[in-house]
Chains A and B, each alone.
Chain A
């Protein structure tokens, strides 16, 4: 019952966002039916395109989980982008420097990525819990630092510049590659890893005492403290996990899709994670679907560009609008009340 209501609100929010998006599309002189047709076709029409959607959804799933775990603890990790870059770089580093047997190598690389992200989550977590520094400012600032740092590492003056003309590292060893799920596409097993992690996170949040404590801290830190929860360590833990999840997302993207670290490899998956986490209403299983939606928007966005219907960035506008409506469930409830009142009174009340 409650789940249905939540779902209803999300569906209406998405519809509202797309509706306003359609208005903007028309206002800027593009064909609304063509845009929506290409959007859907580009995301779902054949095996290749579905694979493309899933490929795009994979890092977004990780960053969505990253956002929501912090959110559940009452914190805002809006620096997943930077954590993603760091995770990606360190996974790549482990991928081309260590030599290990096949499966183990992948695991180690993923671990390196997660650890790098975790460090980048720990700093703002610690600063928040111990020094009271706004984590939504510090995560953002550290995100810039991480992006510039990794960018320097692969720049011509940096130590890991591994290519003649592109700012990227050397290719990772084949033992570190996350294999492709469907040959001929970019879709790797990273999506399965993401799904498993989402399940684990769900179990942690709703079926483990530590998860209960983390949610308690998010809802009411004073009551949590009263209930014997150590608030500051829990907040730090949440940010470390958030960083690790984003880092893992970067690692899976590098190991599965690019096979080397490339400067600016993420077109904003970190930001998409904020959107994904919010659309999922901070639920790990919901995040799977939210990431699919975001991935479809990205994949469909490229398609509308290729088809010459409209610029791909229209999809980003749609995404922004959807989020704006998703964060205000009261709006939907308000609209519902107005409609009901109209039905009862035959006219809106002043």
Chain B
């Protein structure tokens, strides 16, 4: 079977199963008696094993097999769930994760057998039932004793060409065996097992015929056993052993074939010239099988030619409903285009319905864009799901009791953002676990519950997605940060005296700043927070922190829903067009010149109780404003977090959806220009980054 085409699905599903196992084992740890969890684990481990086996990843299969045995004993009530056992199981999952990554990169599972883990698993089994388990660990018990007259291969009806091939082979001194393979009754993926047996046997010889046929076996159209007749240079024992090594095979029997005993045997004269070469005959006898092994060979060769290269493209699994919507919109788009074409024809005849059609086209393209964006959206679940496990490990490592509470895992973000957000979140969680939460004694003194809480909440807020990491720990000690900053020479003591708490906390985001008194394994190398911030800013997001000493801190990450296409307000400054992201605009105001006040020689306006600094874009962009001093000003109020500023523009064109284009690497000096876009008439307009202006 050519399995390379299934590699992507295999990887996707393996990752899902691994994630599932991680989650379930965590649950099992919390509630060792829960039968549902145990069953779920068993099922996941079993599917994983089956998949690995089908794909021919033996090491992965072996490991999952032994894990499954443990789960099976747990399910049968023979083993009680122990903390040590959970640890071993988690390590197994890590090992499986390694295999998966290796497969993803090079289509090869690597060479790590993970012997110690397998041994530990077997030890768990041994502890309970001694020898009995030994057998369970190797259910593929091999026996080569023929069971009475169980020589089913003699019931196979051979046709002339097959008989000819067998006789030819015997003439050449090759061995012809009949093999009967019995699959365990509990085996779920019988076809996969059979396939592996076929594969193993084919390595040693040539399968002449199978009963049921290879195709039926593959389609699982057999009860619990199947029979093969093979030609081989190897001894019968070797062949039986090869077949028996496949797991979940309960029994393999075999004997040399006695041609005379077969069902419709009649002697055929073997003429040298008519005797087909063995391979050819086998081809006709079992075309399905032969086909596959031929296909498998080049696939294998191909894999070996490109070692080290990632074999899998990143994919997004898409809900079929989303695609349906997309498809409908595309058909609507075609209709809209057609009506536009016919409207233009009518236009020449003096009929004007074109505006109507253009409006229709516009509404369709807008919806089309929205749904394409939705297709790109994936829930952040895939990223945050690994965190409970991480917190559990951290809890052990740091010897602090803590619990992670997550909400809003279903919140969706653009795939590119989701891929990138994992590391920053991990940093923040580790920070909370290591620096945030106090040791048990301090918590007790402060009258806090012994188990520290870390919260991860995600939700959508307008065009943004907000992810909050919150803990009920110590909070940020601004004094300590201040002292550290002075010590490091980041700020002078005089500067420090005048700094608000908020500004001091922001110092944490500077490169190489860590307040942990000791550098630990977990955090404190001072590479954390500045990396977090730069990563999030590279995703056009922002990160903020609020903290109260002794009560806890909240880290808030705000990310745009999507990166490629944004809604903007087009404005004119000095005859040039600029786009401002709608997401950062709060209001647009009409301000009379006499409303402008001066504070510290800077222009501000007083708007509904807030003092807002004014930025005259014409000055910033070095152009002449087209407006006179006396005219009212158009002020676009932009916000970043809780900071506001008023941008003075000459004119507004209106709301427009734009596709963001990079200015290229060549132009990088300009901080507040975040990119460019091409307008409908082909003109290039620049995008003002309001965040950089504040």
A is bound by B: no
Measured CB to CB, the residues of B under 8 A from A are: none
Measured CB to CB, the residues of A under 8 A from B are: none
